[in-house]
Amino acid sequence: MDRRELPGFYFDREKNRYFRLLPGHNNCNPLTKEQLQAKEREKKRSMMLLEDDKLRKKAPRPGFNSSLLHKQRQMGLLSEKSFCRRIHEVRASTMRRHKLNLQTSDNSSPDKDNFRFIMADSKCEQLFTVNDVSHGGCKYGLMKLSARQSSLSLELCDSFCFTNHTVNSTCWASVNYTDSHVLLCLVGAADTPGCVSLLPASLFRSSHTEAPGLLCSLKICWAWSCAWCNNPFMSNTLSTGLSRKVILKNAVSGETHTFKVNTDVLTQQFALHEPLLYNGCRSGEIFSIDLRLRGSKSKNWKASSFHQESAITSVRVLEDENYVMAADMLGQIKLWDVRKTKPVMQYTGHYNEHAHLPIHISEPEGLLLAVGQDCNTRIWSLKDARLLRTIPSPHPVSNSLIPSVIFSSNLGGSRGLPGLLMAVESDLYFYPYNSDEQDVSR
């Protein structure tokens, strides 16, 4: 037996001796397995931060840098699409952390409430934020995002909504115009039932002059997920995933359809062009609903069905809707060919044991991003599943404070800045692209 794996003891490498290890969370016992694991995680995070803060970073692929890529492009050795993808890989590998200062419309100091998650609209001009509050429950509202020269600025909108419910899921909804509303899925608390609410974004601006617009609420006992349909075939349609059923509702007419399943539906996304709704379940099943059969009595409404080994935490439909990306609670991220119902690629390195964690696909840049339960943000090449970079959290690792991220080439609008925006605890960090090609090691 390895001398460092003696039952009931642990070996301290620094002091070069054994110490007794007692089970549980006994306050009289300073040495528990959980404490030792937390110490090791923090030590590893500190080392990763030191490495990540270096000016010269390891190239995502051996020998690749901006100068070489430009020369290969000029010589005709790289297509325009391959050149753009490689450049984004190099730029993403050079991003460096900058802490952002939050501003309010009246220049007062914003409250220091921990971020639960952030969500950008399609133009990356505003963020929908959900924060935990100290007295329990959470608050949600909007944040204006703007880019000026080489800097990014954030301004809190005037109005926040407070609730004692937990926000399980959110998405933007295009009712009156693009991203005019926000769809929220709220978990029930005590004797108060949960609900899925469609709120106009103008509610979060105290100075707004436009009419409030459509407001719809669907009261339910327990909802896990929600989605909005941008397919013209099903305009003004929302969906919510519940325990053992899926509900489709037209927010204008109120027409409702229910599909019964045998498990909890944890994540959903509508296809943009095909009349399909993809659902990820606690059982590990991923299935699509053929929306053309919503009004019929047919029991064959499942257009496709395939499985992963654990509960599905995120489903994303690619621009080529023959492919779907799914992540589960074993940390597996797989790209599926829906036509063959077989995985065609797997992205390794993601860490998850039991958390409901999303994945982020940025197809124009050819990148996949995911934050693991270890609080590390990982970036992969979408094309070949190569792990390009791992970014440690600026704060100590905690299951209750997992970072929330947004990646875009236009943070702040059409002329915005490329990079990564990270919310962790009560802080926001910006990781901009570095245009200095010398920053990438050859």
Q: DSSP labels for 189-248?
A: BTTB-EEEEEEEGGGG-TT--S-----EEEEES-EEEEEE---GGGTTEEEEEEEEEEEE
- DSSP class of residue 57 equals B
Burial of 276 (0-12, 13-18, 19+ CB in 10 A): buried
Per-residue pLDDT tens listing for the chain (442 residues): 445 567 777 777 767 777 776 665 444 555 666 777 778 888 889 898 988 887 666 777 776 777 778 787 778 788 888 888 888 888 898 899 999 988 766 555 566 889 999 999 999 999 999 999 887 788 999 999 998 877 888 888 767 888 888 888 999 999 989 999 999 998 876 677 778 889 998 888 766 555 555 567 777 777 899 999 999 888 899 999 998 999 999 988 888 999 999 999 999 999 999 999 999 999 999 999 999 887 666 678 899 999 999 999 999 999 999 999 999 999 999 999 999 999 999 999 999 999 999 999 999 999 999 999 999 999 999 999 999 999 999 999 988 889 999 999 999 998 899 999 999 999 999 999 875 543 333 3
Task: Characterize the bridge pairing of strands 404-411 and 387-391.
Answer: unpaired
A 10 A CB-CB count for 388 gives 20
Please report which helix (H) or strand (E) contains residue 37, including its range: helix 33-52
Can you give the C-alpha Rg of the chain in angstroms? 23
State the Cα–Cα distance between residues 260 and 242, nearest whole angstrom.
Answer: 10
